């Protein structure tokens, strides 16, 4: 067994890189273990402005800027000829007004390479297979390297940033089903040669396709665009066929998508992902904290995944540092409740997206500019701003707004 380290980070996605960078910056010893060889493909390409604060504090901004990723200034929602456009510079909360749209293989590699450059050891193709926690909260983790050899790593604390791997929840039976309906996505990267005729690339576009079915368009700076379709299992089952034929049917079934993507080359054959929403009983325990997707991943609609991955890791790693330096920390209040509040805000918006509430709001005639600014802040990831009624009182505020829109529509019809 090697010498005890302060912190073991499981996973080298954005959550793992932010955690490792913060712990290293505080002068503690940290090691990262990652199951895959990087660069590796992962979905989740449109970031939110709120994660820029974390990338800045973890000192990643220069490394990411050097990659010339596509800048993102807003989000656009479309249904047939109706368009609702949100520009982050109009948002209510104070904060970043832009972010990036990134090919995640390259983005994640950039972050973890920068972590290594600072002197943090990172073991790729190394999988965590078992963890034993000691009475004093330290732990012994067994990992398996690519060549089949195993190693044990002794650490004072573990940050589990293993994303869909969900290492600690799986090993210790902490997983809990999400209260969101299971959904499925089919997606690919495509050559977006008609981009300029249709749309600027500095936005994510969500196209409402059919009730409960939608499409994402995430342009990259290379001229390639990520195109994906999300819907219920029933919808996909009714379509029949394989992923490629479903992807083709989706494109051909919508006038805007057909015009823009009907005749373009696909960079890779369409892939699928399904039933991604999961959560866990607890976000922390004796000797460990969960960050990023391991805590809870809701739904792709508002691109909140990397924002939660970075923000949760930022907060958790700062608390781990304080704890290892001998301070008392209040995990329930300062971590679990804080993250849950942000997640619950987005959950309301995800549900409102699928039940048609947001469609009414986004495409209402003469939307109130101040309310639009407040909703824009949610879409930018500022879901902890208690001055924003559409955060503080998220569910009630949306309900009230829809009622007002209904009344206005009835008055207009008189
Ligand atoms: P990950 O990026 O998954 O990284 C975890 C790492 O842990 C992986 O590299 C994995 O190999 C490693 N690992 C796993 N198990 C082990 C193990 N046993 N030992 C060692 N290492 C291990 N988010 C957005 O922000 N924007 C979007 O537009 C967006 N679109 C999405 C579309 C779909 C269809 C889905 C399903 C999700 C989308 N997301 C999006 C969410 C996004 O994919 C995740 O939220 C994000 O990748 C979470 O980052 P992470 O660092 O927590 O985990």
Q: Report ipTM for this prediction.
A: 0.99
Give the containing element (helix H, strand E) for 126.
strand 126-133
- Pocket of ligand 1 contains residue 169 by CB under 6 Å: no
pLDDT of 267 reads 98
Q: Is 87 in the pocket of ligand 1 (CB under 6 A)?
A: no
Specify the pLDDT at position 413. 87
201 in contact with ligand 1, CB cutoff 6 A: no
Q: What is d(CA 202, CA 220) in angstroms, rounded to the nearest whole number? A: 9
Give me the pLDDT at residue 237, please: 95
State residue 197's pLDDT score. 57
Kindly report the protein residue whose alpha carbon is nearest to atom 30 of ligand 1.
44
Fold equal for 5-72+96-177+277-343 and 183-274? no
Q: What is the per-residue pLDDT across 24-62, written as a single tens digit (0 to 9) for each? A: 999 999 999 999 999 999 999 999 999 999 999 999 999
Identify the bridge partners of residue 83 per DSSP, sorted by sequence position: 78
Look up the CATH architecture of domain 5-72+96-177+277-343: 3-Layer(bba) Sandwich (3.50)
All structural domains of the chain with their residue ranges = 5-72+96-177+277-343, 183-274, 355-413
CA atoms in the 13 A half-sphere facing the CB of 279: 17
Name the closest-CA residue to atom 38, ligand 1. 44
| pTM score | 0.97
Report residues of the chain scoring pLDDT below 50.
none
Residue whose CB lies within 8 A of the most ligand 1 atoms, among 14, 35, 37, 44, for a mutation test:
44
Q: Give 380 Cα–ligand 1 centroid separation in angstroms.
A: 19
Which DSSP string do the residues of 335-387 spell out, in sequence order?
IIIHHHHHHHHHHHHHHHHHTTHHHHHHT-SS--HHHHHHHHHHHTT-TT-TT
CATH of domain 183-274: 3.30.9.100
Q: Where are the alpha helices (DSSP H) in 185-336?
A: 195-198, 233-239, 243-252, 255-261, 305-324, 331
Q: Which helix H or strand E contains 392, and what residues bound it?
A: helix 389-392
Ligand 1 atom nearest 293 alpha carbon: 52
- Cβ of 115 below 6 Å from ligand 1: no
Tens digit of each residue's pLDDT (9 = 90 or more) over 154-184: 999 999 999 999 999 999 999 888 888 889 9
Contact 56, 351 (CB under 8 A): no
């Amino acid at each position: 067994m090697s010498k005890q380290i302060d912190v073991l980070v499981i996973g080298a996605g954005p959550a793992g890189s932010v955690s490792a960078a913060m712990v290293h910056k505080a002068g503690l010893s940290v090691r990262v273990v990652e199951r895959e060889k990087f660069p590796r493909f992962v979905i989740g390409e449109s970031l939110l402005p709120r994660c820029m604060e974390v990338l800045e504090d973890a000192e990643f901004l220069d490394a990411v800027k050097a990659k010339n990723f596509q800048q993102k200034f807003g989000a656009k929602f479309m249904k047939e000829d109706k368009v609702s456009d949100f520009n982050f510079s109009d948002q209510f909360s104070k904060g970043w007004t832009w972010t990036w749209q990134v090919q995640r293989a390259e983005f994640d590699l950039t972050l973890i390479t920068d972590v290594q450059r600072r002197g943090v050891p990172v073991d790729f193709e190394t999988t965590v297979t078992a963890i034993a926690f000691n009475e004093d909260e330290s732990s012994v983790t067994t990992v398996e390297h690519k060549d089949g050899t195993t190693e044990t790593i002794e650490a004072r604390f573990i940050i589990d940033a293993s994303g869909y791997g969900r290492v600690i929840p799986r090993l210790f039976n902490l997983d809990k089903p999400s209260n969101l309906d299971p959904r499925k996505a089919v997606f690919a990267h495509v050559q977006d040669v008609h981009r300029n005729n249709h749309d600027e690339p500095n936005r994510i576009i969500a196209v409402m396709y059919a009730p409960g079915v939608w499409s994402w368009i995430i342009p990259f700076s290379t001229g390639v665009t990520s195109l994906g379709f999300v819907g219920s299992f029933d919808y996909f089952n009714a379509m029949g066929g394989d992923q490629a034929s479903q992807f083709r049917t989706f494109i051909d079934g919508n006038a805007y998508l057909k015009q823009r993507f009907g005749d373009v080359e696909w960079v890779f054959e369409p892939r699928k992902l399904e039933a991604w929403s999961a959560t866990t009983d607890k976000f922390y325990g004796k000797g460990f904290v969960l960050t990023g997707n391991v805590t809870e991943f809701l739904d792709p609609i508002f691109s909140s995944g990397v924002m939660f991955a970075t923000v949760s890791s930022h907060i958790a790693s700062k608390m781990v540092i304080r704890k290892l330096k001998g301070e008392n920390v209040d995990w329930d209040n300062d971590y679990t409740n804080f993250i849950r509040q942000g997640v619950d805000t987005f959950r309301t918006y995800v549900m409102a997206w699928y039940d048609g509430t947001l469609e009414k709001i986004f495409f209402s005639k003469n939307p109130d500019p101040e309310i639009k600014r407040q909703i824009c802040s949610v879409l930018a990831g500022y879901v902890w701003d208690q001055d924003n009624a559409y955060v503080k009182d998220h569910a009630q505020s949306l309900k009230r707004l829809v009622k007002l829109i209904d009344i206005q529509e009835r008055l207009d019809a008189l």
